[in-house]
Amino acid sequence: MSSITQLLLSSFKGPPPLPHASKEETYSSRIQDFRDQIKSGLPFALDFSALTGIVDALRHNNAIDDRKMLLEHVLVFLSRLPEGPFQTKLQNAVVELLYNDLPHPPATYIGDKYAWRCADGSNNNLSDPDMGKAGMPYARSVQQVNPLPKNQLPDAGLVFDTLLKREKFVKHPAGLSSMMFAFAALVIHTVFRTSHEDVNINETSSYVDLAPLYGHNQEAQDKVRMRNGRGYLHPDAFAEDRLLLLPPAVCVILVLFNRNHNYIARKLLEINERGTYVDPDTLTSDNPNRGAILLAQEEDLFQTTRLINCTWFASAVFSDYFSAILGLEIRQEDHTLFERGRGNVCSVEFNCLYRWHATTSVEDEQWVHQVFSKIFPGKQPEDLSIQDFKAKAKELHSTDPDVKHWTFGDMQRQSDGTFKDAELAAVLHNATDHAAGAFKARGTPHIMRLHEIMGIEQNRRWGVCSLNDFRKFLGLKAYSTFIEWNSNPEVAAAAEKLYGDINFLELYVGLQAEEAKPVVDGAGLCPSYTISRAILSDAIALTRGDRFYTADYTPFNMTSWGFQDCQRDPSAPGYGSTLGRLFLRTLPTQFNYDSVYTWFPLMTPQAMKPILRKLGDSHLYDFNKPTPTEDVPSIGNYRGAVEVLRSPEKFGTPQHVRSGAIVSGPGFFIASDDGARGEREQRTMLRALVGAPDGAQRILEYFYKTTRSMMMKESWTAVASNTRNVDIARDVLKYVPIHWACETVGIPLKAADAPSDAPGFTPREMWEILSDVYSYLFLDVAQSKLLNLQEKSKAHVDKLLHYIKDSSGVGLNLSVSGILSAVSNIFKTPTNHDELVARFASLGYDSDSVANSMLAILVGSTVELSQALTHLVDFFLDENKPTDVQVLCTKTSFGSKDESQLQGLVMEALRLDPAFRGVYRDSYGEQRVGNLIIKGNSRIFVDIAKANLDPEGFPDPQNVNPGRASRDMYLSGDGCEK
Ligand code: HEM
């Protein structure tokens, strides 16, 4: 990793970490010495440096065991010291330590007013609420030393034509895409919005708060909010009109953040973590409190969502964006925790530094031409003045103040206000394909002449320093000649003609026309030398300055779900890319889970290929343009669901596509690529499992005894009470099936406190492993997690198969005698597993099939069964449900009628509260189900939960009726349910 990257990383995380072991060792040895000396009583060696070492150790109290009373020992020692300078010094050190325990002034206050961002960014620094607020002046960081009188500076237009105007397009040397600069434009518009009336004023806040989406003040925010009691934004709307003139990818990214907002708000209401929200649809219009309830929850939902969505944006800025700026390796680290939060004010120097117009791609340049000729028909950039630009901006702003109607990129809104997914995605795919331009002198498209002149003039009005002043401020060597600044002799000579002396080279031009850095480690952006140094300071100011990414970055403010939702996983695809997750969430049919367009959009795919190859990860990604998937139709009526589920010759299960990536060979019947063979294998397995005449009974007994003993072990009593309490779902039902399955397939379970290198798994480890594999195979896992889960599941399966083969002897020799002898070596008393292995051997299966079948039992009979058992218990503990089960429990004898009633109740409970909502099926050729025509080779969703409530299948569907005609009428999906 480059030293620059390391520097930035350590700043993101606060002070550089202590060199671990050695510092801790020093503390503990100091503490031990101190204790020994205290024990031996006074007189004490009065060595002040040793004592401050002890105070220092106390300060690192995370490592101190407070049960050992170190602080108390220090205080006792202090009280015994004779008065004098030594006592005073030590006393001061202890008082300072205790004072510094708490921040002064406090880092934050309690209450919604402080937990939520103000629309205009005020109150970010609680001691100076206006710091960084919208509508305040820019800061100036650097003192101007070299005079730059306006009347002696060259004409701004001439400067552009001589030093900035693009000669020819040069591709970005590191392979950054046009998307990178679309995102960059969004980032800079989040923190810069120079007033057209008074250029000293920044109309937006200096915080990474997604102001282009949410508005730079309350009035702008009000325009984008629906205020529907759900905290939503208007569909696909955003607040910043200045972006409408930029290439469309900028606005598309904003639209996706709008969608992310509405997704998060929907989730918060659905999860209702604190139980304070109501579904607005359930409040009737005659409810007198309706308005007040909706108003209160609207604010809560909107502001909490905004916090989470802003953290998503910040995460994209500090991971995807800065990774691209610095080179890829930064992604490997976690940037989610920053320290400080004392506010930030953007400066004019940085406004000038970020004018990256030279990076405009060929395609975006054409786009700007189109826009220009639309708003200034028949004109050339030279024909226009800054006033013309500002007047036009004002005119466009007032044309349609309703954000719901704004369009861009030649797209039209649909009747519900949204844009078409395919059109939005096409813009993003293209922006990823298009190469950005290199940072360079004479690299800015001619069409941007006016924008650049505006920038240069603005800089002069701000009194910005010279390039050399800026370099000195950053601790960089001042340039002594123009050729040192830019080694292109033509550029250097032209600049010398315009400015005369290198010390008078103004910052704007000095930065934008300086020689660019070559591609080296730690310089993915390859901007000019001075920009590349300064940008690091700015990154740190932005990360550290914001209270909402520091002191107030808490699960309480964002809810536990929200906090978790915006975390990055650096081991995930794209090395934790947040943009990739955003695309998959908001355009799920347009981006594929393994595409480089999803995970590395800021580089062109062409540039990404060799990088991923070098990292050894290229096999994980698809480099082709994503192919859109179609919305999956759903079948929720009983008749249709039966038809699909019971016609394996027409509709196959799709799990084999996933299982093929983690299990090879036949036998894994729960996710077989051949439905009929899978069912055959499953029947054989069941025969082998139940085997002996009393086989089923023995399994039942195992479950009964294990459940009972775990309930005893895991339960507790409250004070003066005989009633035992148990968390039945967490501590019992989760693990009972695991105990049975592991014993059956021969995987040892070890105690929770067993050494980590002891063979086998703890029940909790086993649960995690099986949950991963089960989720990967059967659940609708978020696309963004799929690739990671696949790789994790593959590693889990390898480990499980290793144990299964080892304990069964199936890897060695599959003769009955071979297996029995292997088994007898492992187990002293025969177990279910021995019998199962022997029965398999007699069926003549090959070793891989046996191992895969055992794996199928393990995966198919655990996680989902635990889920189903939990649903059952929950169902029958509900006081509104029939009490028949409780009555059955009290019976002393249990006849076949009771048995059948119990089974009926179980079927009914799982019908009304199924373990999962439904299953997917793939059609073989075109099929018709009712009125629905299903195209060949396409996917459908069978909504079992809905079909279970269809009166055609289950008359009076809400009624729990254990006596319904036959068990066959119940719908079953995949996994253990089958
Ligand atoms: C083809 C793409 C782009 C176009 C057409 C464009 C156009 C403009 C225009 C017209 C302005 C003046 C805005 C105003 O005062 O109302 C401006 C300002 C600015 N542009 Fe760009 N720009 C583009 C891309 C970028 C990119 C990629 C960056 C860098 C990340 C950037 C950085 C800036 C900055 C920092 C300002 C000053 C903003 C302010 O002070 O309010 N621009 N640009």
pLDDT of residue 329: 43
Cα separation, 209 vs 220, whole angstroms: 14
Confidence of residue 521 (pLDDT cuts 50, 70, 90): low
Confidence of residue 57 (pLDDT cuts 50, 70, 90): low
**pLDDT over 70 at 553, yes or no:** yes
- CB of 193 closer than 6 A to ligand 1? yes
Confidence of residue 2 (pLDDT cuts 50, 70, 90): very low
Q: What is the pLDDT of the chain when averaged over all its residues?
A: 85
**pLDDT over 80 at 66, yes or no:** no
- CB of 361 closer than 6 A to ligand 1? no
177, 186, 201, 246: residue to mutate for ligand 1 pocket, most atoms within 8 A of CB = 246
Largest CA distance in the chain: 106
Q: What's the burial of 713, exposed, middle or buried (CB within 10 Å: 0-12/13-18/19+)? A: exposed
**pLDDT over 90 at 764, yes or no:** yes
Structure tokens, 615:
């990292």
- CB of 364 closer than 6 A to ligand 1? yes
317, 356, 369, 373: residue to mutate for ligand 1 pocket, most atoms within 8 A of CB = 356
Cα separation, 686 vs 705, whole angstroms: 22
- CB of 194 closer than 6 A to ligand 1? yes
Q: Point out which residues pair with 939 in neighbouring strands.
A: 922
Indicate which atom in ligand 1 lies nearest the CA of residue 184: 30
Backbone angles phi, psi at 436, to 5 degrees: -75, 165
Q: How far is the CA of 245 from the centre of ligand 1 (A)?
A: 10
Q: How far is the CA of 246 from the centre of ligand 1 (A)?
A: 8
pLDDT of residue 165: 97
Structure tokens, 419:
């844009």
Q: How far is the CA of 221 from the centre of ligand 1 (A)?
A: 22
Structure tokens, 825:
């070596």
Cα separation, 500 vs 173, whole angstroms: 31
- CB of 246 closer than 6 A to ligand 1? yes
- CB of 360 closer than 6 A to ligand 1? yes
Per the document, the length of the chain is 978
Backbone angles phi, psi at 915, to 5 degrees: -65, -30
Of 22 and 493, the structure prediction assigns the larger pLDDT to 493
- CB of 247 closer than 6 A to ligand 1? yes
Q: What's the burial of 945, exposed, middle or buried (CB within 10 Å: 0-12/13-18/19+)? A: middle
Q: How far is the CA of 449 from the centre of ligand 1 (A)?
A: 12
Q: Break the chain down into helix, strand, coil percent, rounded to 5.
A: 55, 5, 40
CA 54 to chain centroid, in Å, comes to 41
pLDDT of residue 4: 34
State mean pLDDT over 800-823. Answer: 58
Q: What does DSSP say about strands 919-923 and 927-929: parallel, antiparallel, or unpaired?
A: unpaired
Of 823 and 591, the structure prediction assigns the larger pLDDT to 591
Residue of the CA atom closest to atom 26 of ligand 1: 185
Peptide bond into 43 cis (omega under 30): yes
Catalytic residues: 354
205, 243, 451, 602: residue to mutate for ligand 1 pocket, most atoms within 8 A of CB = 451
What is each CA distance from 101 to 20, 105, 121, 436, in whole angstroms? 22, 12, 29, 49
The amino acid present at 208, given as its one-letter code, is: V
State mean pLDDT over 400-419. Answer: 94
pLDDT in tens, 834-857: 677 777 767 777 778 888 888 988
**Continuous segment of H or E residues that includes residue 635:** strand 634-635
Least confident of 729-733, 784-788, 790-794: 784-788
- CB of 351 closer than 6 A to ligand 1? yes
Backbone angles phi, psi at 759, to 5 degrees: -65, 155
- CB of 133 closer than 6 A to ligand 1? no
Residues 6+ apart with CB under 8 A from 497: none
Residue of the CA atom closest to atom 15 of ligand 1: 194
Q: How far is the CA of 185 from the centre of ligand 1 (A)?
A: 7
- CB of 192 closer than 6 A to ligand 1? yes
369 is in an annotated binding site: yes
Residue of the CA atom closest to atom 17 of ligand 1: 451
Indicate which atom in ligand 1 lies nearest the CA of residue 182: 27
- CB of 242 closer than 6 A to ligand 1? yes
Residue of the CA atom closest to atom 12 of ligand 1: 451
Residue of the CA atom closest to atom 6 of ligand 1: 246
**pLDDT over 80 at 98, yes or no:** no
Cα separation, 339 vs 354, whole angstroms: 25
- CB of 349 closer than 6 A to ligand 1? no
Structure tokens, 406:
């704004």
Q: How far is the CA of 603 from the centre of ligand 1 (A)?
A: 21
Confidence of residue 19 (pLDDT cuts 50, 70, 90): very low
Indicate which atom in ligand 1 lies nearest the CA of residue 450: 10
- CB of 317 closer than 6 A to ligand 1? no
> Which H, E and C letters describe 738-764, residue by residue?
HHHHHHHHCCCECCCCCCCCCCCECHH
Cα separation, 326 vs 349, whole angstroms: 21
Q: How far is the CA of 189 from the centre of ligand 1 (A)?
A: 8
Residues of the chain with pLDDT > 70, as a percent, come to: 86
Crossing angle for the helix pair 832-843 and 736-745, to the nearest 10 degrees:
50
Q: In which residue are the tokens 């940037």 written? A: 335
pLDDT in tens, 281-336: 999 888 899 989 999 999 999 999 999 999 999 999 878 887 777 764 433 333 33
Q: Measuring CA to CA, which residue among 176, 541, 512, 582 is closest to residue 355?
A: 512
**pLDDT over 80 at 45, yes or no:** no
Crossing angle for the helix pair 48-59 and 20-39, to the nearest 10 degrees:
120
pLDDT in tens, 352-378: 999 999 999 999 999 999 999 999 999
Residue of the CA atom closest to atom 41 of ligand 1: 193
Indicate which atom in ligand 1 lies nearest the CA of residue 196: 15
- CB of 462 closer than 6 A to ligand 1? no
Indicate which atom in ligand 1 lies nearest the CA of residue 454: 12
Is the distance from CB of 574 to CB of 580 less than 8 angstroms? Answer: yes
Q: How far is the CA of 359 from the centre of ligand 1 (A)?
A: 11
- CB of 355 closer than 6 A to ligand 1? yes
Q: Per mean pLDDT, which of 262-271, 385-394, 686-695 is the most reliable?
A: 262-271
pLDDT of residue 828: 39
Structure tokens, 659:
């299982």
Instruction: Give the residue ranges of DSSP H helices in 616-762.
Output: 638-645, 655-659, 675-690, 695-714, 736-745
Of 750 and 341, the structure prediction assigns the larger pLDDT to 750
pLDDT in tens, 210-221: 999 999 999 999
**pLDDT over 80 at 278, yes or no:** yes
pLDDT of residue 20: 42
pLDDT in tens, 71-89: 777 777 777 777 877 778 7
Residue of the CA atom closest to atom 19 of ligand 1: 355
DSSP letter assigned to residue 134:
T
Structure tokens, 865:
């069964």
Q: How far is the CA of 542 from the centre of ligand 1 (A)?
A: 19
Residue of the CA atom closest to atom 8 of ligand 1: 451
Residue of the CA atom closest to atom 10 of ligand 1: 451
Indicate which atom in ligand 1 lies nearest the CA of residue 351: 35
Q: How far is the CA of 144 from the centre of ligand 1 (A)?
A: 25
The amino acid present at 34, given as its one-letter code, is: F
Residue of the CA atom closest to atom 43 of ligand 1: 451
Indicate which atom in ligand 1 lies nearest the CA of residue 187: 30
